Amino acid sequence: MNDIGVTVLLIAALFLILGSGVWIGLTLSGVAWIGMQFFGSRPAGDAMAVTIWGSASSWTLTALPLFVWMGEILFRTRLSQDMFRGLAPWMQALPGRLLHVNVAGCAIFAAVSGSSAATCATIGKMSLPELKNRGYPDALSVGSLAGAGTLGLLIPPSIIMIVYGVSAEVSIAQLFIAGILPGIMLAALFSGYLVFWAWRNPSLVPPADARASFLAKVHESRHLIPVVLLIAAVLGSIYAGIATATEAAAIGVLGALVLSAAQGSLNWQTFKDSLLGGTRLYCMIALILAGAAFLTLSMGYIGLPRHLAEWIASLGLTQWQLLVALALFYILLGCFLDGISMVVLTMGVILPTVQKAGIDLVWFGIFVVLVVEMAQITPPVGFNLFVLQGMTKKEIGWIAHVTLPFFLLMIAAVVLIWVFPGIVTALPERMRG
């Protein structure tokens, strides 16, 4: 069977198993087993055992459950309420009001975690219950969180930028700096959409709180101090070189526990509930990651990503045509693979073509990250969609539907960095200069 036939068969198997109600992690593993058993040369059972164990025991992923636990602590104590209390007076004047907390919170936390899933899960644990209690529409609350959660990949430090930097032999420091302005731009696009939506649907926005003076707003901002200190501890420990991302996550958990205890909102029940809640959420994410790792291995043995990449390289496209083709290619791959796997599997074939087309590799790195961000909210295997499904118990189709406007904004962001490449290259060039 040729590559197209194998691809169609695996897509059909994926939808059939998903439609029967099987968990997504087990579905991914099942599709991977089918691919390897019938179209690969390596025994499927042996590959499954080794790959899933390797994925589950990865030290790099240790940061994820710790950040999730930190979010659970913030969610179950007064810290998350205090964050809203401190931000609320400043957001009241913006159309859309507290919906902007999702974007601002994700942008801030993205500079701490480097992980899209951790950003989405942590901010979601804090923001979704508060927004629901205050009467904000579920569609905008969930959609804006799914979109803004992808900022964890773009705003440095970013795990996927490190992977790309190593694969492309590009300075990781320059990639980090290059991601700052596009990250701010994407956050601004998300907030701009929320402003536009609120302007079109004023009746769906809950009424503003009582108008407060500037001094009153500053006074209320004191409630932000614990959360700001916590973020500063985590972020500062990474940028000062004191701690790795995993160690910084542990600092975050310890800091959240200390601050909660100091506020008097930490007791044995909240500690136990936060630990169990974090464990349940991470187990869901870990099962998806394990299934994705096995699917990645299976597709690698079959050779589908490599064959698709070679086909694109053989078309002889112009620069802009090549970028459009690559964007579509990565969005398609993102339906089945996680972002890091997409980069690892395809860079060896694609980079020579990109260099031959005269595309700057630092700029291309940010382009890849933006397109991979789209894959985080593209069904059927968008990780952010499944993280939110586990948190909200909503149907995956509904979550994908309410996230669509933010997916389109990411396409707009890709167009903007193509038309105005200085958004990406200005800071790295200043650094080189």
Domain boundaries, the chain: 60-283
Q: Can you read off the two tokens belonging to residue 60? A: 């790099």
pLDDT in the model for residue 113: 61
**For residue 346, what are the contacts with CB-CB under 8 A and spacing of at least 6?**
305, 306, 309, 329, 330, 333
Share of the chain above pLDDT 70, in %: 88
**For residue 136, what are the contacts with CB-CB under 8 A and spacing of at least 6?**
98, 99, 205, 206
Out of 226-230, 401-405, 419-423, pick the least confident.
226-230
Where residue 318 falls among pLDDT bands split at 50, 70, 90?
A: confident
pLDDT in the model for residue 193: 93
**For residue 338, what are the contacts with CB-CB under 8 A and spacing of at least 6?**
289, 292, 296, 381, 383
Q: Are 223 and 83 in contact (CB under 8 A)?
A: yes
- State how far the Cα of 198 lies from the Cα of 77, in Å rounded to an integer: 30
Q: Shortest CA distance to 335 belongs to which of 301, 305, 366?
A: 305
Where residue 376 falls among pLDDT bands split at 50, 70, 90?
A: confident
pLDDT in the model for residue 299: 76
pLDDT digits (tens, 9 = 90+) for 262-296: 888 788 888 998 899 888 878 877 787 788 778 77
pLDDT digits (tens, 9 = 90+) for 222-268: 777 777 788 788 777 766 778 776 788 888 889 889 988 888 878 88
pLDDT in the model for residue 419: 92
Segment 71-87 mean pLDDT? 71
Burial class from Cβ neighbours inside 10 Å (0-12, 13-18, 19+) for residue 315 reads exposed
pTM greater than 0.75: no
Q: How far is CA 132 from the centre of its chain?
A: 22
pLDDT in the model for residue 279: 86
Where residue 2 falls among pLDDT bands split at 50, 70, 90?
A: low
pLDDT digits (tens, 9 = 90+) for 14-64: 778 877 877 777 888 888 888 888 876 777 777 788 888 877 777 766 777
Helices 396-419, 138-149: crossing angle, 10 deg rounding: 50
**For residue 304, what are the contacts with CB-CB under 8 A and spacing of at least 6?**
3, 6, 7
Segment 114-135 mean pLDDT? 78
Where residue 182 falls among pLDDT bands split at 50, 70, 90?
A: very high
C-alpha dist (Å) from residue 222 to 35, 64, 189, 231, 256: 56, 29, 29, 15, 17
Give me the amino acid identity at 370.
Answer: L
pLDDT at 67 over 90: no
Mean pLDDT of all residues in the chain?
Answer: 80
pLDDT in the model for residue 381: 63
Burial class from Cβ neighbours inside 10 Å (0-12, 13-18, 19+) for residue 75 reads buried
Segment 94-106 mean pLDDT? 80
pLDDT in the model for residue 136: 86
pLDDT in the model for residue 44: 77
